[in-house]
Amino acid sequence: MSTRPGTGTRTDPETAVLTPDDLEFLRRPLYGFLTVAAGPVPPQPRPVWFEATAEGTIQLFTGPDTLKVRRLRRDPRASIVVASPVGERERWLSVAGRTTVEPEGGQELCARLFARYWDLGDPARAEELSGMPAEDWVRVVIHPETVRRFQN
């Protein structure tokens, strides 16, 4: 890890893999901001729930006919940026790479992420979740090619 002159901030060099420290950070219930390649259109990041896998990929669930899936089928490049919340020391992680759209495992990922991001003890949240796994979901998997990080 290096310190940028005059800032007191630390950055790691760019890598192509997620480190154990990165994976620990990504296991927290933080929002990621997903951007997919859009050709001549400026990228439009969207907040998403995500999961870092033991294999070092990032996955999220979405409907099979969403705009992001249609764009990824044309151009499979995407990135996700995850940042620490306000009140904590500044930290962010950016992962970019090719994606695959997987037809299997979307319902299971949906259920895991609902339990991670929402208090399912809240009856309203639990009721909303009850119908979600039955819907048709796909998994979008980002295979890291470039990982950048910053920690203050």
Any idea what the CATH number is for the domain that residue 47 is in?
2.30.110.10
**Location of structure tokens 């299971």:** 108
63 close to 137: Cβ distance less than 8 angstroms: yes
How many structural domains compose the chain? 1
Q: Per the structure block, which two tokens stand in for 143?
A: 């295979």
- What's the whole-model pTM score? 0.86
Q: pLDDT tens-digit profile of 73-128?
A: 999 999 999 999 999 999 999 999 999 999 999 999 998 998 899 888 888 877 77
Confidence of residue 11 (pLDDT cuts 50, 70, 90): low
Chain position carrying tokens 């979740």: 129
The separation between the first and the last C-alpha atoms of the chain, rounded to the nearest angstrom, is 11
Domain residue limits at 109: 2-151
In tens, the pLDDT along 112-122 reads: 998 899 888 88
How far is the C-alpha of 66 from the C-alpha of 68, rounded, in Å?
5
**Residue 54 one-letter amino acid:** A
Alpha-carbon distance 99 to 103, whole Å?
A: 13
